[in-house]
A and B are shown apart, each in its own frame.
Chain A
């Protein structure tokens, strides 16, 4: 299940849905990203996320199918919020089920790493000088590069 949405999501509902759909899987791993209330230059009053309607959804689907090529997975849920989001609010949810924990942990991390470097989403932060576009970080690309030579590890 993929969703790009303005509204918030209920983490408990998402976990429950994964658990209900798990069908014999022994592991559920979830990741929830929150808006930080600080960055390197000081406090952040919130963020605004722009997306490319259509392509953002397609890229999330593609990321999930790339994960399925590498690990044997049951259910995958990815939710990304867009628009204006306040400090400490939820931005992104990734939940994965699998027979065993290792695949679920790795796939969850792979999906968020891949999302951060390839899904068309752009973040602005509210600073004391107004809204500022966030620059991409080389550490995000390095996190993604670690997965470059991984194929079907399950």
Chain B
């Protein structure tokens, strides 16, 4: 089992990396950083979900980074024009996609084993 500490580290690292990607306009490439972390941390299928959480956190921060709440106001306008009612469906879609992309990245990374890492022990 991964400790909460390891999970916390994974979330934080993926959040920071996905934030950096988002700032440069490549938010959807966060599977790359997730794969890297999945490989380094030797995560499994389920624990890779923590990288998905990190992706959500990083993406969410990047939404507010430059314009704060104005971002939601503007997205709300877009959401209403698109007939979605508000920003909520757009935000939900963005965060779900971030989660899935990071999780999938983590899965890819966890499929490989580096020489200096050990396999995650399965609970007995």
A binds B: no
